[in-house]
A and B are shown apart, each in its own frame.
Chain A
Amino acid sequence: MRKHLGEAALFAGSVIFLSLVAFHYGAVLSPDTWSYSVYAQELREGRLPVYSHDGSFLSTEFF
């Protein structure tokens, strides 16, 4: 029981700590910092992005 309480406290503490850090650096409020926002932008424009293995943009008309 005590072990489970400790783990629950650790989990909740991690969520709170990481949320504070994310809020401090603005990651919550500005989607520009998200890795996947570029995919969302392409999907909003009705295109499916295709990237090469090094992350460079290849084409939107492959599919």
Chain B
Amino acid sequence: MIVPKPFQILLSLIAPVPWLLTFLYIIIGSVIVLFSSRIAGLLHSQAALLAPLLLLFNNEFILATITAGSIIVLIGLVFPALYYLLTWQGGKKNIIIVSLLLLVAGLTRPEAWLLVFPVALFFITHHPAKIKANLLPLALLHAASILAVCGENT
């Protein structure tokens, strides 16, 4: 099977510029750290401090960041999508944001589009008023989804 990898070829256009690509991925990695804190903060206030530390001292995360791994762009789009999904208060704004983030995430790795199914299930089956009660099982569901589609890299 031939994989053209359009996003990687697009990124390689700035690769000849020294340190620019690495710095871009460091920015995206910091976005991941920030949103991991926000998502964990929805569950528990002290977890908002613990989650960034667990990420910043993780060998795999640092390695993927400083070698410009495509998984960093994927998670850098999926984590904000997960945050805006869990802070949904009804209305169309968050649905559009989550859909656009997952759409762009699918351009980096096609398996990101699989996340559309649990996200659609979330928007269909859960009333905004009951989100707080269902937060933990939903977070576990999404973690399991991400592990299922990206597990080969963990």
Contacts and interface: CB of A to CB of B under 8 A. Distances in A.
Say whether A and B bind each other. yes
Interface of A: 7, 10-11, 14-15, 17-19, 21-22, 25, 27-29, 31, 33-37, 39-40, 43-44, 48, 50-53, 58, 62
A34 B37 contact: no
A35 B67 contact: yes
Given A14-B29, A15-B30, A18-B30, A36 B15 contact: yes
Given A14-B34, A44-B16, A53-B1, A36 B62 contact: no
Nearest to B2: A50
Nearest to A24: B66
Interface size class of B (residues with CB under 8 A): 35 or more
Contacts, number: 96
Given A7-B38, A29-B18, 18 more contacts: A10-B34, A10-B52, A11-B33, A11-B34, A14-B30, A18-B62, A21-B62, A28-B18, A28-B19, A29-B19, A35-B67, A36-B11, A37-B15, A39-B8, A43-B12, A50-B2, A52-B1, A58-B2
Contact of B27 (A15, A17, A25, A48): A15
Interface of B: 1-5, 8-9, 11-13, 15-16, 18-19, 21-23, 26-27, 29-31, 33-34, 37-38, 52, 56, 62, 65-70
Given A14-B34, A19-B23, A40 B16 contact: yes
A51 to B, nearest CB: 6
